[in-house]
Amino acid sequence: MASEPKVYVVEDDEAVRDSLMIMLRAADYPVEGFSSADDFLAQWSEQCRGCLVLDIRMPGMDGMTLQKELNHRQSLLPIIFVTGHGDVPLAVEAMKEGAVDFIQKPYAERTLLQKIDQAMGIDAEQQQVLQELQSIKERLATLTDREREVMQMMVEGKANKVIAIDLDISQRTVEIHRARVMQKMGTHSLAHLVRMVLAADQGSALA
């Protein structure tokens, strides 16, 4: 479902935008350009992958405001701010708001490409984590209520005997549930299961 990762460029200055897009294409990056924050927001979706190269100063909605709006929409797209001379205090504030990096105009191609690679790397990692979380959630959804109860106690480190007494079922039945849980969650290790459950709890706390 996720769309192809690309570099989204939001820059009001036509020449800077055009040249940057040509440069990125020459370096074999998929690119899409926007001349205003509004244009970008209009086509933004959770599916956007890659990174955003964002001019901090623009007429109309500026870069910082777009960042806040994207944060509000819970976008995970990493942002690299492009700043002018003397915008460092703004850039610092943008970093506090979660931007991954900033770069001052005029910049060296290599520096910008490194930052883009890094940002795209962060996005890919985030995607992987999200996908794992998604698959964990999907697996958890296949468990029956009883299996979920048994799993919770397993994760708390309780022995089969204790679980059997607590749930007032036979130890044999516990063993069957336990095997099902491991099978449905696709693992053989209790440690792995614990990690998955924790991740799912944290992931849903984040959402």
Stretch of 100-108, 114-122, 130-138, 150-158 lying at the interface with another protein (CB under 8 A): 100-108
C-alpha closest to that of 154 among 182, 133, 173: 182
CB of 110 to another protein, least distance (A): 9
- Is 205 strand, coil or helix? helix
Does the footprint of another protein cover residue 106 (CB under 8 A)?
A: yes
Q: What are phi and psi of 118, to 5 degrees?
A: -60, -45
Does the footprint of another protein cover residue 117 (CB under 8 A)?
A: no
Stretch of 9-17, 70-78, 122-130, 155-163 lying at the interface with another protein (CB under 8 A): 9-17
Count of residues binding another protein (CB under 8 A)? 22
The answer to whether the CB of 62 falls within 8 A of the CB of 56 is yes
Token digits of residue 43: 């086509």
Stretch of 13-21, 29-37, 117-125, 173-181 lying at the interface with another protein (CB under 8 A): 13-21
Q: What are phi and psi of 157, to 5 degrees?
A: 90, 15
DSSP state letters, 71-133: HHTT----EEEEE-TT-HHHHHHHHHTT--EEEESS--HHHHHHHHHHHHHHHHHHHHHHHHH
Contact string (CB under 8 A) for another protein, positions 51-90, x = contact? ------x-xx-----------------------xxx----
CB of 102 to another protein, least distance (A): 14
Which chain residues interact with another protein by CB under 8 A?
13, 15-16, 18-20, 22-23, 25-27, 57, 59-60, 84-86, 105-109
